[in-house]
């Protein structure tokens, strides 16, 4: 597994091109085409995955999740950043550390 750049609130994240994914009800399955590994996402993580199908800052992602779920904002921020980092380390997410102009 690679180690991606550290993700912060200003990092722009987007689903990597070398993957395919499928919605499974409230959950999602992702296949990394580079290493042929499947990943399963629960409903909250699947929502994050839906949000990053287009480039967004990590802050935009956690703010959207916090608005949709009954979760304390600080916990939501930590959990979303941790999830995005795991996805990036697995090669499923591309990260840019500033928004393109």
Domains and CATH numbers, the chain: 12-94 (3.90.930.60)
Helix axes 73-89, 58-68, angle to 10 degrees: 130
The end-to-end CA distance of the chain, in Å, is 30
Q: Is 54 helix (H, G, I), strand (E, B) or coil?
A: coil
Give 97's pLDDT tier (boundaries 50, 70, 90).
confident
Residue 58: DSSP 8-state: H
pLDDT > 90 in the chain, percent: 87
Burial class of residue 67 (count of CB atoms within 10 Å of its CB; 0-12, 13-18, 19+)? exposed
Q: What is the pLDDT, as a whole number, of residue 50?
A: 96
Per-residue pLDDT tens over the stretch 14-27? 999 999 999 999 99
Residue 64 has pLDDT above 80, yes or no: yes
Q: For 40-61, what is the mean pLDDT?
A: 96
* Other Cβ atoms closer than 10 A to 12: 18
């Amino acid at each position: 597994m690679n180690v991606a750049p550290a993700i912060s609130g200003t990092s722009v994240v987007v689903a990597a091109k070398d993957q395919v994914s499928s919605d499974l009800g409230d959950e999602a399955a992702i296949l990394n085409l580079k290493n042929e590994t499947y990943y399963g996402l629960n409903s909250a993580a699947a929502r994050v995955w839906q949000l990053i199908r287009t480039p967004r800052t990590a802050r935009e992602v956690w703010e959207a999740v916090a608005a949709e779920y009954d979760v304390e904002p600080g916990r939501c921020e930590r959990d979303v950043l941790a999830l995005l980092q795991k996805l990036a380390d697995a090669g499923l997410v591309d990260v840019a550390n500033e928004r393109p102009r």
